[in-house]
Chain A
Amino acid sequence: MISSDLIKNALSYLGFLGLEADGDLRQEVAEALSVLIKMQRFRYLTKRFDRRLPFLEKEPYRTFLGDAPAYYLSLMTLGGEVELYLRRLALTDLRRALVADACGSALLEQLADGEEARCAEPLSRRFCPGYEGSPVEDVAEIHRILDGGKIGVALTGGGLMIPQKSMAAVLAIGGARGQRCNTCPLFAHCVFRKEQSVCKRSESN
C-alpha cells in the first residue's frame, strides 16, 4: 500500500503544490511508485562525529549545527537498478521518466526518514550540501569520508552522484533545526510559499 503522503510528496516534486492533481496523474504516480518500491535497493551509510570536520566549519553549516554536541554524516541511494530504469524511460517515454524521477526523489526521502527514525538519538532534519547556499562540492567530502563506493555511489568528474537518486546529508544530534521561512534565502522566490504551503525544511511543517 502506497501512503498518500508519499504520493503527495511525489506530486510536489512534479510541481503540484497545494493543488489537486487529476485522477489519471495520481494513478500514474502510484504506479510509478509501485515499480520503484519493488526495484529499489536502498542503502544507507552513516557515521557519528563528535568533532567538527573542517568542511563544516563554514556557514551555513556552522549555524545549522549550532551547539549540537555531535552530528552524523549520511549517504544513501536507491541503487543502480533504479538508475538504469530511469535512463531506460528517458529514452523511450519521457513523460513516464519525468514522473518516475519525481517518485524516486520522494521515495528516497521517505526511506531516509525511516532509517533516521530508527536512530536512538534525536536528529535534526537532513541538511544536504547545496542547501542554503552551501557548496554542492561538499557532497564529495561526505562521499570520501563515508566511502560511498561501498554502497555503489560514484562521483562524476563534476562531483555529481551516480545513481542520481542518491543523497548526502549532515544531521545534527539534538533535535529539530528547521529553517524559518522568513530567514530562508529562498523566501522571495519560494514556490511553496506562493502556494500557501511549506517545504520539508521548514519548522512550520
Chain B
Amino acid sequence: MQALGKQLMIFDGGMGSELEKRLPAVPVPEDLNITHPAVIREIHGAYAAADFITTNTFGLNPIKYRGAYPIEEVAHAAISHARTAGKRVFFDLGPTGSLLAPLGTLSFDDAYAAYRQMVCLTRDEVDGYIAETFSDLYELKACVLAVREHTDKPLFATVTFDESGRTLSGATPEIVATVLSGLGVDALGVNCSRGPGEMTEVVRRLLAVSEVPVIVQPNMGLPSYRNGKTVYDLTEEEFLHAACELVALGVSVIGGCCGTTPSLVSRLADLRGTPVVRPSVTPVPAVCSGTRRLVFDGGVKVCGERLNPTGKKRLKEALMSGDLDYLATEAIRQADAGAHLLDLNVGVGTGDESALMRRAVTQVQEYCDLPLQLDSSSPAALEAGARYYNGVPLLNSVNGEERVMDAVFPIAKKYGAMVLGLTMDERGVPKTARERYEIAARIVERAGEYGIAPHRIVIDTLTLTASAEQAQVKETLEALRLVRALGVQTALGVSNISFGLPARPLLNKTFLTMALASGLTMPIINPCDTAMMDAVRAYHALSGYDADCVDYITAYGEAAAAPTQPTPQGETPDLATCILRGLKSRAEAATEEALATLASPMDAVTEILIPALTEVGRQYEEGKLFLPQLLSSAESAKLAFAVLSRRLPKGEAERGRVVLATVKGDVHDIGKNIVGVVLASYGFTVVDLGKDVPKELITEAALVNKPLAVGLSALMTTTVPAMEQTIRHLREAGVTCPIYVGGAVLTEELAARIGADGYAPDAASFARSLLGRLN
C-alpha cells in the first residue's frame, strides 16, 4: 500500500456483468458464493492482473440481504474465493438499499449497525474495505464510521454522481471530498455512474479538493438493453483512451464497474506504476452540510446566534418540551436572512444534553441546509452532534485548558471538523491582547499535534461588555489583529459588547464594523438584525471582497429600494376586511384600531372575528373562495386573536385545547396544518403533534392536555387502520373527549366505522363543530 497516491494502482472490474455472461440472472448474486463457488473463483482469477480484488458481497448486509444462507457463511465464502486470485482482497460494502431519514425511513444507527456487523465478521480476513456506489453521503458516513471504529484496515469509499454532478442526495464532489477526507478514508472517488469520459469533470473537481488519493471505477459507458441483455456502448480502446486522460488528471487508483471485463482490466494494468501527478491541493477552511459547503475564503461569514437558549425564554421552553419545530423555524428564519452557518446550542441545564443535541441536529438539518456550528461545553454533546451531523461541523469550543483540548481535539480529528478556540484558560480571560494571542498560539500548536492544521481553527478573542470593562474593547480588537498571523479564522460574539448600555443596536453595529476592520471573519450575530447585515454588506463593498460592489448594488440599488407591493392610495382596511381578504400584514394594526372603538377585547372576537370567519367559511363552501384564500384569512385572524388574547382577562381567551396529529405511517400533513391554523384563528389552542405520530404519543398528549377534542388526519387508505388503532388506544387509556377524523380518504360512514365521534370534511366545518360543542 506504500504505492498508494504515488504510483497508479489497479482495481478489478465488474462482477455483475461477468456473472450475467456465465449464469442466468439470479435475485441474490451473493448466494452464488455458496451455490457456484467455481464461477466466482473463475471471475476473480480472471481479474488477477489487478492489485485489488473485490469480494462478491455488494448486497451483503443485514438490511439488504435476502438470500438463503447465514450472512457470515456467505461473507467467509466470498473472502476465500477472492483470496484465490492471490491479490489484496477488499471487502465490498454496498448501500443498504433503504433510504435514510429524512428522505427515507432507515435510521443512521440502524445503517451503522448493519455495517458494523459486516466489519466485525470480516476484519480478520481481509486486506481492506471498499464502500462503493453510495448515492447518499449520510449512509456512507454511517458505513465509514462503522469501519473506522472497528478496524485499522484501509478503507476506500466511492459514490455515484448523476449528470448534474450531484449525488442522489444532493452532495457535490467538493462536499463528498470534504466529508470523506475529514472522516479519514484512505482513498475516495467515484464509481459506476457513467463511462470514464463523462466522469472527467467530477474527477477534476474531486482532485481539486481531496486531500487523499482519488479512486475511479467507471462503467463501460452507458447501458442499454438488447435481446434480454444489458450492453454498454464503449469499446476497450475508447475506455482506455478516456482512462488515460483520468490518469493524467492525477487519479491514484483505477478500475472498472458495470460492464467492464477482465480483458479490459488486464490492459488497464499496463498503466500500473504510472507516477501519480496531481494538482497540488491547497487545504482550505471549510465546513459543510450534506448539500452546502462553506469555504472561509476571505469574506465575512455570518454565524447565526439564534439557536442558543441563553437569554431566549421561548427557545429554552421549546428545547425543554421537545418542540423542535420551533428550532427548525428559527433556523429557516436565519437562513432566509442571509446567515452562512448557524450556531446550535441546546444547553438548558437539565436532561441529557447529548441526546438533545442529537435530536436537534437531526431536526435542523432536515429543514435547513446551512452548515452548523455545534456549541456545547460538554464534549459528549459535541461528539453526539458531530456523529449525527450529515456534514462537517464547526465545534464550539475549546480553550487554552489542557483538559478541554484533550477532550475536544480527538472529536474534531475523528469527524474532520473545524474547531473554535476561545482565548481563555483556567485563569480566565487575559487582560491583554498579547496574552490572548499566546493562548491562541497554544491552541493552534496543540491542535497540530492532533493533525489539525491552523486553517481549521477559528479563534474567538472574546467580546467583553463595554459597560463593565471599557478598556477591554481595544484589547479584543488588537487580539484579532494579532491572531490572524497564526493562519486562523476569527470569531466574536458581537452583541456581548453592549450589555447594560442604552441604544444597543448602535453599539453593536459600530463594534462589528471596528472588528471587521481588525480582521474578524466570522461574527456570531443575529442575521435577522438588518442593521448588522447591512454593515457586513457595506464592509464587503468597501474591502473589495464584493467585486464591483455587485452584491451591494443588488441589495440597495434603486430597484431593490422601491416598495415591492405598493399599498393602494387611501386604503386602510379595517379588521373585518383584513380577515375577509386575508391581509396578514395589516391584521395586527387593524386589531389595535378596532380595540380603540370597542368596549372590550371580547367584543372584537364576537362582533368582528367570528362573523368574519363565518363569512369566509360560507364563501369557501359556496366555492367563491379557495384554500389559499381561506388560509390567508385564517392566518390573519390568528394574528388578530393573538393581539386580543393579550388583552383579555386570563381564562376568557381560552376556548380550549385541540390535539392534532397525522397518524403513524402517514407523512402527509398539509391538510392537518391547515386545520391547525383555522382552529387557532378561532382562538383554540392547538397542540400539533406533527405527522407519522405513534398512537402512544397521541394518547399521552391527550391525557396531559385534557383537550376539547382530538383531531386525527390520514390521507391514504393504507393508514386508516393506524387511525382506527389510535382511536382504540385513546379510548382504552381513558380519553373521553370527542375524536374527530379527516383526510382525503375519510367519509362520514368510514369515520363511524372506525369509532370516531365526528367527521370533519374540512377545517372550517371542524371549527364550527367545536364552537357548537362549546355553546
A residues neighboring B (CB under 8 Å): 14-16, 19, 21, 25, 28, 41, 80-81, 83-84, 87-88, 90-92, 94-95, 97-99, 101, 130, 135-137, 149, 151-160, 162-164
Contacts and interface: CB of A to CB of B under 8 A. Distances in A.
Contacts of B102: 84, 87
B670 A159 contact: no
B461 interface: no
Contact of A152 (B135, B628, B632, B718): B135
A80 B666 contact: no
Contact of B667 (A21, A98, A137, A160): A160
Interface stretch (B164-172, B524-532, B596-604, B648-656): B164-172
Q: Is the interface of B mostly helix, strand, loop or mixed?
A: loop
A63 B665 CA distance: 31
Nearest to A48: B225
Contact of A164 (B369, B667, B673, B677): B667
B333 interface: yes
B434 to A, nearest CB: 47
Contact of A158 (B332, B635, B666): B666
Given A25-B628, A97-B673, A158-B666, 9 more contacts: A19-B623, A80-B170, A87-B367, A136-B718, A137-B718, A154-B103, A158-B716, A160-B719, A162-B99
B628 A81 contact: no
B770 interface: no
B692 to A, nearest CB: 7
B563 to A, nearest CB: 16
A190 to B, nearest CB: 14
Given A157-B665, A162-B667, A135 B368 contact: no
Given A91-B332, A95-B632, A162-B104, A101 B366 contact: no
Nearest to A21: B626
A93 to B, nearest CB: 9
Contacts of A159: 665, 716, 718
8 contacts: A80-B170, A83-B103, A92-B329, A99-B628, A136-B716, A154-B99, A156-B692, A160-B715
A143 B167 CA distance: 20
B96 to A, nearest CB: 9
B757 interface: no
A130 B162 CA distance: 31
Contact of B635 (A88, A94, A162): A94
B377 interface: no
Contact of B103 (A41, A136, A152): A152
A92 B332 contact: yes
B716 A152 contact: no
Nearest to A191: B623
B628 A87 contact: no
Contacts of B718: 136-137, 158-160
A94 B677 contact: yes
B97 A149 contact: yes
Given A84-B366, A151-B168, A160 B635 contact: no
A159 B105 CA distance: 11
B367 A152 contact: no
B333 A92 contact: yes
B716 A94 contact: no
B143 to A, nearest CB: 16
A160 B166 CA distance: 26
A87 B328 CA distance: 11
Interface string B685-728: 00000001000000000000000000000011111001000000
Contacts of A152: 99, 103, 135, 168-169
B435 interface: no
B664 interface: yes
A98 B631 contact: yes
B668 interface: yes
A84 B101 CA distance: 11
Contacts of B623: 19
Interface residues of B, number: 49
A155 B291 CA distance: 23
A152 B98 CA distance: 9
A101 B321 CA distance: 30
B665 A156 contact: yes
Contacts of A28: 628
A156 B332 contact: no
B395 to A, nearest CB: 25
Contact of A80 (B169, B332, B629, B719): B169
Contacts of A149: 97-99, 104
B142 to A, nearest CB: 16
A160 B103 CA distance: 12
Contacts of B291: 81
A25 B328 CA distance: 28
Contacts of A158: 664-666, 716, 718-719, 722
A120 B90 CA distance: 44
B627 interface: yes
A101 to B, nearest CB: 6
Contacts of A25: 628-629
Contact of A98 (B135, B628, B692, B716): B628
A15 B668 contact: no
Interface in B107-163: 135, 162
Most buried by B among A97, A152, A159: A152
B469 to A, nearest CB: 40
A190 B329 CA distance: 38
Interface string B322-348: 000100110011000000000000000
A78 B716 CA distance: 20
B674 interface: yes
A16 B626 CA distance: 7
Contacts of A160: 665-668, 715-716, 718-719
Contact of B367 (A88, A99, A156): A88
Contacts of A81: 170, 291
B534 interface: no
Contacts of B719: 158, 160
Contact of A94 (B97, B168, B673): B673
B669 A90 contact: yes
A162 B98 CA distance: 12
A155 B718 CA distance: 12
Given A154-B103, A158-B722, A90 B169 contact: no
Contacts of A135: 717
Contacts of B170: 80-81
A95 B674 CA distance: 9
B325 A91 contact: yes
A15 B328 CA distance: 30
A153 B99 CA distance: 8
A151 B162 CA distance: 10
Nearest to A86: B670
B385 to A, nearest CB: 20
Interface in B710-753: 715-719, 722
Instruction: State the 3 A-B residue pairs at the shortest beta-carbon distance, nearest first.
Output: A158-B665, A154-B104, A154-B99
A118 to B, nearest CB: 15
B366 A164 contact: no
B668 A154 contact: no
Contacts of B166: 41
Contacts of B722: 158
Nearest to B95: A149
A164 B668 contact: yes
A84 B367 contact: yes
Nearest to A93: B635
A87 B166 CA distance: 21
B332 A88 contact: yes
A163 B105 CA distance: 11
Contact of A156 (B629, B667, B669): B667
Nearest to B103: A80
A167 B632 CA distance: 29
A162 B329 contact: no
B329 A91 contact: yes
Contacts of A94: 631, 635, 670, 673-674, 677
A29 to B, nearest CB: 9
A52 B673 CA distance: 41
